[in-house]
Amino acid sequence: MEPVIIPIGDVLDLHTFRPQDIPDLLSDYLSECIKAGIFAVRIIHGKGKGIQKKRVQAVLRKSPQVAFFKDAPPEAGGWGATLVELKRK
């Protein structure tokens, strides 16, 4: 399978990705954000039953790249998105 090239920006929408791909995707994406000088990222995981959100936040909790994260405010997706602040070198 060919790798998917996605533009690096301050928003990552996970709706089109398979759940098993998300841990590696998040790690790689956040690394590329840091390289690009992007230190605040909104990750859209959707609302649903909260399963994807729990997966995403478990990955973020373990990541050495992440300074902190929190639920997005209502105007930025509410509990369907997570705001992430990345560590600066």
pLDDT tens, the chain, 89 aa long: 677 778 899 999 999 899 899 999 999 999 999 999 999 999 999 998 889 999 999 999 999 999 999 999 999 999 999 999 999 97
Q: Please list, residue by residue across 44-83, b when 16 or more beta carbons sit within 10 angstroms of its beta carbon and e when fewer do.
A: bbbeeeeebbebbbebbeebebbeebeebeeeebeebbbb
Q: What is the pLDDT of residue 1?
A: 67
Domains and CATH numbers, the chain: 11-86 (3.30.1370.110)
- What pLDDT score does 28 carry? 94
Question: In the prediction, which pLDDT does 5 show?
Answer: 79
CA 57 to chain centre: 8
Residue with tokens 């929190």: 70
Q: What is the pTM of this model?
A: 0.91
